[in-house]
């Protein structure tokens, strides 16, 4: 039946044209390549009249600012806004078509008008490649138009490959000509000749060479016409802007800059304001020169470029001597959609946008993306970029449209990958493309989708741009790494000492790659630095200084893929290209003990960064972040590397900057006062984050440290799933709950704590990490990590309890007096549920904290 339906003839309303192309067929998409709107309208109007005469259901998709092609009483009109972006525009169009059902006829406005909003031929071609097959499956007939000399040869070629019928129109001033370029499964001896439109019944083919030559010389070879048509609309915008650079036309230059900003830098108006304030027209052209594809460069790219520009524009350029230059590249957001369209996955992406398909289709796309291919023109551009970088290690980083904006950091939700293999050009390309596809796949990971849903962004147009950066660092044998790297926050939400000034900010710094600064890793701890007192550390005795220090480094090994962990001892066996005394102290006590046992073979070092922190570095970092915060009018988070040059001078490579939520500093102080009339369930001095709070506590949820440690690996993962079930119950019942557990929350390693992602504990009002020395489970003061960012964005209060110290008290006898309700909330194996206890306080407990006294208590 479907095959018969496709053979059904459809009249165009012009019998002469029907004779030329043997009529239309059900399923045909007809693209008119026209010199102006008037010629398109001349063929649309007869088709409308014929459709009405034949009793066809007719719809008009309206999005351009040219005159309407249809009156309201002739068809159902659907208006779309192209400014919402390619993805949402295409999604809305598909929804309209789906709702109209089969055998509906369509008139679309001229597609060329989409360029005013998208500025990309590639997006216009992708839209048609999505819509045309969708309409064909629904047995429709649809009219489209594109303006001649507005699109590149590649765009017209893609549209022609996709459509069933393409007809080019010519107007020589006296006659109108129709020239069929493609007619699916139909042919005749004269079908593909130009035909003069004499009247509705007569289309006369141009059969002699004299008339044909005269026609085409007049219309198709005007000076510059071929060059203009061969060029993408995207490139034309930049060429126009470049032509203005050497002129004094400041008004035109500023307008051109703002146009390029809108094309490249996203839609966050607060960010756009800063870009227009700090970037010049030449800056925008430089970004385009280092870009692959079209579209936006994404939030991460915008953030790091903007931060650098703010500092570079500072009067006197005081930070120029500290800043390492960059030569980054950007893969535009349109490439992401081209990748999806090229591999035929657009329908699955539309399913993912529905509530029922949000996770299901997302999971399928996550599995499919690593198997996809790229359009050839993108592949060739990537190879050119890789030739530029040569054999230096590079990192390919996510830079999505929504990433690193005001209110939505997406910290750690999308992947980044190092490409360090010194192979052949083809091997380097395959390694890069594999990583590129994995980053695309991470946009559909459950953690990322949960995050978007929690932020109300399920339907937002999220495209994945990519930032490609040369890895900052140097070689030591076959290892490559920066001397130090870390995270900085302009506002210190973790104030563990009453003398700390939170406005001074904080750092989280490691030796080697910065991955250990943003992630929680087994058995290792970065250096936490309060910039108001850089030498102050959260845990000051020598035993804790050793336990809570960095032992291993993340480095690149140019013989193998990805990053690798090596011990500090292994690194210090080789000849370092900088003075380790800048970062570390000799552990003479441990050396003496090892020497007594006959085991000492080299010096033992503790990474404290003490000498570095006694120099100018802390003040430089504090001032830089203060300047950025002042410009953003919001606290900021940065990522950076540090490398020493000859003469022990250092340079900083600013890799990322984003505004962060400041909820942690809000709220009036709640004085704890006299607590003798309350039952103290918990008391902690220091080691909390979340500001001054006074919140009710309905549930106290405990994971018993001793019982959890005794569980099998499988049961530890079952414990994590059970906590996730409790998390959902809290959300459903509207409870305010505090979660207590041994070691670290948010780890993926069961030996360090319950292996759970933040999305599975995000309904808890507060979480607490508890020390369990017997099981080797310790809190990790991960302030500045991606987990920390999740806590801040979610407004989750955090505590770390070191129960072996007098400053931390937890009264289990008092807690046990509340009703234990675990059995009514969770169902699992007895030995798993026995490790989890839920106590219902009946709303009689409260969590209070006071930054000034550095005390947090739960009272009842």
Read off the CATH number of the domain in which 295 is found: 3.30.1490.20
CB neighbour burial string for 160-181, b if at least 16 within 10 angstroms, e if fewer: bebbbbbbbbbbeeeebbbbbe
pLDDT at 631: 96
Cα(21)–Cα(450) distance, integer angstroms = 52
38-52, 163-177, 612-626, 822-836, range with the lowest pLDDT: 822-836
How sure is the predictor about 311, in pLDDT bands with cuts at 50, 70 and 90?
very high
pLDDT at 526: 84
In this structure, the strands spanning 24-25 and 58-62 are unpaired
pLDDT at 684: 81
Do 554 and 426 lie in one domain? The reply is: no
214-228, 593-607, 694-708, range with the lowest pLDDT: 214-228
pLDDT at 757: 84
| 232 belongs to a structural domain | no
Contacts of 500 (CB under 8 A, 6+ apart): 492, 530, 532, 533, 536
519-523, 530-534, 628-632, 684-688, range with the lowest pLDDT: 519-523
CA–CA–CA angle 851, 853, 856 (5° rounding): 70
pLDDT at 462: 87
Q: What is the mean pLDDT of residues 496-514?
A: 87
Do 827 and 692 lie in one domain? The reply is: yes
Contact in structure between 454 and 408 (CB atoms under 8 Å): no
Cα(369)–Cα(339) distance, integer angstroms = 9
At residue 308, what are phi and psi to the nearest 5 degrees? -60, -40
| 349 belongs to a structural domain | yes
Q: Nearest-CA neighbor of 473 among 301, 352, 622, 641? A: 641
Contacts of 441 (CB under 8 A, 6+ apart): 365, 366, 367, 369, 370, 415
Conformation bin of residue 22: beta by default, left when phi > 0, alpha when psi is -120 to 50: left
| 233 belongs to a structural domain | no
Contacts of 189 (CB under 8 A, 6+ apart): none
Using DSSP's 3-state secondary structure scheme, residue 168 falls into strand
Most confident range (mean pLDDT) of 356-370, 453-467, 551-565, 770-784 is 356-370
Q: What is the mean pLDDT of residues 192-215?
A: 84
- pLDDT of residue 249 exceeding 70, the answer is yes
Q: What is the mean pLDDT of residues 558-585?
A: 84
Cα(332)–Cα(86) distance, integer angstroms = 13
How sure is the predictor about 470, in pLDDT bands with cuts at 50, 70 and 90?
very high
- Give the domain-ending residue among 603, 636, 660: 660
Do 510 and 432 lie in one domain? The reply is: no
| 821 belongs to a structural domain | yes
pLDDT at 369: 97
Q: What is the mean pLDDT of residues 710-724?
A: 90
Residue 827 has a CB neighbour count (10 Å cut-off) of 11
33 token code pair: 């390549």
How sure is the predictor about 664, in pLDDT bands with cuts at 50, 70 and 90?
very low
- pLDDT of residue 778 exceeding 80, the answer is no
Radius of gyration of the chain (CA): 32
Q: What is the mean pLDDT of residues 175-197?
A: 91
- pLDDT of residue 146 exceeding 60, the answer is yes
Percent of the chain at pLDDT above 90?
A: 52
Cα(764)–Cα(739) distance, integer angstroms = 7
In this structure, the strands spanning 29-34 and 58-62 are unpaired
Most confident range (mean pLDDT) of 109-123, 546-560, 563-577 is 109-123
Q: Nearest-CA neighbor of 44 among 18, 71, 13? A: 13
Q: How far is CA 129 from CA 235, 342, 712, in A?
A: 22, 9, 52
How sure is the predictor about 386, in pLDDT bands with cuts at 50, 70 and 90?
very high
Cα(129)–Cα(121) distance, integer angstroms = 12
pLDDT at 1: 40
- pLDDT of residue 103 exceeding 80, the answer is yes
531 token code pair: 């910039």
Do 671 and 775 lie in one domain? The reply is: yes
Angle of the 333-342 helix axis to the 86-100 helix axis, nearest 10: 40
pLDDT at 585: 85
Q: Give the strand order in the sheet containing 479-481.
A: 474-476, 479-481, 552-557, 563-567
Torsion angle, CA of 39/41/47/49, rounded to 10 degrees?
A: -140
Is residue 515 packed enough to be buried (19+ CB in 10 Å), middle (13-18) or exposed (0-12)?
middle
Q: What is the mean pLDDT of residues 523-537?
A: 84
pLDDT at 782: 63
Q: What is the mean pLDDT of residues 28-32?
A: 97
Cα(301)–Cα(333) distance, integer angstroms = 12
How sure is the predictor about 2, in pLDDT bands with cuts at 50, 70 and 90?
very low
Cα(527)–Cα(549) distance, integer angstroms = 7
pLDDT at 224: 42
Domain span at 407: 250-471
Cα(276)–Cα(291) distance, integer angstroms = 20
Contact in structure between 110 and 64 (CB atoms under 8 Å): yes
Residue ranges of E strands in 165-304: 165-171, 176-183, 195-199, 202-205, 291-292
Q: What is the CATH number of the domain that holds 207?
A: 3.40.50.300
In this structure, the strands spanning 650-659 and 636-644 are antiparallel
Residue owning tokens 């019982």: 707
- pLDDT of residue 672 exceeding 60, the answer is no
| 237 belongs to a structural domain | no
- Give the domain-ending residue among 433, 453, 471: 471
404 token code pair: 């690193």
Residue owning tokens 């530890």: 716
Angle of the 425-442 helix axis to the 376-389 helix axis, nearest 10: 120
Do 266 and 201 lie in one domain? The reply is: no
| 189 belongs to a structural domain | yes
Q: How far is CA 855 from the centre of its chain?
A: 38
- pLDDT of residue 796 exceeding 80, the answer is yes
376 token code pair: 């050839």
Q: How far is CA 563 from CA 412, 417, 515, 556, 688, in A?
A: 16, 8, 9, 5, 32
Cα(317)–Cα(289) distance, integer angstroms = 25
Percent of the chain at pLDDT above 70?
A: 90
pLDDT at 150: 87
Residue ranges of E strands in 260-376: 291-292, 329-331
Contact in structure between 399 and 300 (CB atoms under 8 Å): yes
Cα(419)–Cα(434) distance, integer angstroms = 10
Cα(339)–Cα(129) distance, integer angstroms = 12
Do 311 and 217 lie in one domain? The reply is: no
| 244 belongs to a structural domain | no
How sure is the predictor about 779, in pLDDT bands with cuts at 50, 70 and 90?
confident
| 240 belongs to a structural domain | no
The answer to whether the Cα torsion of 242, 243, 245, 251 is positive or negative is negative
Do 485 and 597 lie in one domain? The reply is: yes
- Give the domain-ending residue among 194, 227, 260: 227
Q: What is the mean pLDDT of residues 231-250?
A: 88
Q: What is the CATH number of the domain that holds 593?
A: 3.30.470.20
Do 484 and 456 lie in one domain? The reply is: no
pLDDT at 439: 97
pLDDT at 236: 86
Euclidean distance between the first and final Cα of the chain, in Å?
A: 74
Do 401 and 441 lie in one domain? The reply is: yes
Q: What is the mean pLDDT of residues 422-435?
A: 91
- In the chain, how many domains are there? 4
Do 347 and 408 lie in one domain? The reply is: yes
Angle of the 250-264 helix axis to the 281-289 helix axis, nearest 10: 40
Do 121 and 170 lie in one domain? The reply is: yes
- pLDDT of residue 522 exceeding 80, the answer is no
Q: What is the DSSP letter of 192?
A: T
pLDDT at 542: 46
802 token code pair: 């070191």
Cα(266)–Cα(564) distance, integer angstroms = 35
Q: What is the DSSP letter of 408?
A: B
- When the pLDDT of each residue in the chain is averaged and rounded to a whole number, the result is 87
pLDDT at 74: 86
Do 257 and 175 lie in one domain? The reply is: no
């Amino acid at each position: 039946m479907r095959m018969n339906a496709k053979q059904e003839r459809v009249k165009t309303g012009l019998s002469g044209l029907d004779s030329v192309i043997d009529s239309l067929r059900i399923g045909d998409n007809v693209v008119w390549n026209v010199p102006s709107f008037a010629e398109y309208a001349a063929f649309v109007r007869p088709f409308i009249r014929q459709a009405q005469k034949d009793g066809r259901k007719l719809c008009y998709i309206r999005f351009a600012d040219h005159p309407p092609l249809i009156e309201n009483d002739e068809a159902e009109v659907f208006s779309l806004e192209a400014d919402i972006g390619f993805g949402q525009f295409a999604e809305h169009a598909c929804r309209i078509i789906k709702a109209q059902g089969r055998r509906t006829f369509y008139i679309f406005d001229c597609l060329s008008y989409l360029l005013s909003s998208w500025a990309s031929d590639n997006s216009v071609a992708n839209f048609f490649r999505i819509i045309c097959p969708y309409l064909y499956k629904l047995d429709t007939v649809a009219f489209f138009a594109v303006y001649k000399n507005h699109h590149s040869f590649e765009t017209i070629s893609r549209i022609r490959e996709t459509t069933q019928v393409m007809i080019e129109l010519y107007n020589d001033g006296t006659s109108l000509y129709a020239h069929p370029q493609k007619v699916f499964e139909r042919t005749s001896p004269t079908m593909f000749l130009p035909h003069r439109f004499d009247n509705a019944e007569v289309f006369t083919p141009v059969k002699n060479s004299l008339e044909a030559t005269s026609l085409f010389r007049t219309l198709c070879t005007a000076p510059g016409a071929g060059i203009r048509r061969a060029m993408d609309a995207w490139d034309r915008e930049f060429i126009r802007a470049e032509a203005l650079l050497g002129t004094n036309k400041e008004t035109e230059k500023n307008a051109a800059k703002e146009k390029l900003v809108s094309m490249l830098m996203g839609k966050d108006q607060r960010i756009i304001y800063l870009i227009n304030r700090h970037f010049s027209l030449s800056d925008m052209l430089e970004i385009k020169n280092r870009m692959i594809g079209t579209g936006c460069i994404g939030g991460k790219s915008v953030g790091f470029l903007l931060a650098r520009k703010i500092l570079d524009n500072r009067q006197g350029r005081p930070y120029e001597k500290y800043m390492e230059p960059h030569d980054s590249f950007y893969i535009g957001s349109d490439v992401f959609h081209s990748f999806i369209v090229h591999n035929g996955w657009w329908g699955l992406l539309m399913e993912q946008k529905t509530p029922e398909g949000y996770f299901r289709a997302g999971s399928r796309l996550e599995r499919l993306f690593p198997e996809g291919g790229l359009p050839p023109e993108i592949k060739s551009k990537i190879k050119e970029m890789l030739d530029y970088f040569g054999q230096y290690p590079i990192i390919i980083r996510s830079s999505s449209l929504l990433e690193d904006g005001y209110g939505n950091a997406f910290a750690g939700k999308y992947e980044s990958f190092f490409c360090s293999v010194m192979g052949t050009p083809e091997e380097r390309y395959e390694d890069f493309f594999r990583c590129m596809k994995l980053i695309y796949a991470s946009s559909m990971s459950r953690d990322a989708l949960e995050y978007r849903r929690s932020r109300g962004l399920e339907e937002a147009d999220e495209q994945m741009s990519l930032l490609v950066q040369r890895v900052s660092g140097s070689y030591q044998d076959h290892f490559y790494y920066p001397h130090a790297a870390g995270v900085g926050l302009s506002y210190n939400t973790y104030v563990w000492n009453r003398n700390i000034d939170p406005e001074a900010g904080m750092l989280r710094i490691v030796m080697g790659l910065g991955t250990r600064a943003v992630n929680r890793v087994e058995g290792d701890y970065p250096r936490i630095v309060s910039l108001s007192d850089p030498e102050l550390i959260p845990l000051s005795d020598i035993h804790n200084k050793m336990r809570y220090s960095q032992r291993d480094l993340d480095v690149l090994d140019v013989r193998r893929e990805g990053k690798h962990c090596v011990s500090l001892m292994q690194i210090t066996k080789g000849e370092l290209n900088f003075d380790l005394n800048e970062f570390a102290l000799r552990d003479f006590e441990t050396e003496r003990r090892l020497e007594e046992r006959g085991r000492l073979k080299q010096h033992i070092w503790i990474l404290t960064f003490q000498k570095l922190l006694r120099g100018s570095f802390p003040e430089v970092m504090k001032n830089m972040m203060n300047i950025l915060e002042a410009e953003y009018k919001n606290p900021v988070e940065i990522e950076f590397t540090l490398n020493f040059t000859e003469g022990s001078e250092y340079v900083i490579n600013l890799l990322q900057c984003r505004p962060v939520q400041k909820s942690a500093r809000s709220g009036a102080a709640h004085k704890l006062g006299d607590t003798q009339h309350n039952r103290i369930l918990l008391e902690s001095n220091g080691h909390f984050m979340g500001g001054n709070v006074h919140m009710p506590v309905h549930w106290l949820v405990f994971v018993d440290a001793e019982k959890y440690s005794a569980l099998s690996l499988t049961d530890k993962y079952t414990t994590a799933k059970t906590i996730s079930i409790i998390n959902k119950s809290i959300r459903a019942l509207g409870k305010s709950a505090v979660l207590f557990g041994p070691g670290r929350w948010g780890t993926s390693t069961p030996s360090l704590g319950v292996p759970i992602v933040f999305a599975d504990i995000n309904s808890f009002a507060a979480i607490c990490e508890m020390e369990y020395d017997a099981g080797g489970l310790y809190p990790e003061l991960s302030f500045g990590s991606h987990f920390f960012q999740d806590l801040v964005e979610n407004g989750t209060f955090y505590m770390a309890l070191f129960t072996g110290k007098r400053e931390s008290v937890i009264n289990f006898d008092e807690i046990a007096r509340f009703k234990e309700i675990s059995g009514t909330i969770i169902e699992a194996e007895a030995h798993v549920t026995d490790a989890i206890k839920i106590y219902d306080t009946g709303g009689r407990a409260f969590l209070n904290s006071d930054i000034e006294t550095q005390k947090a208590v739960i009272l009842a």
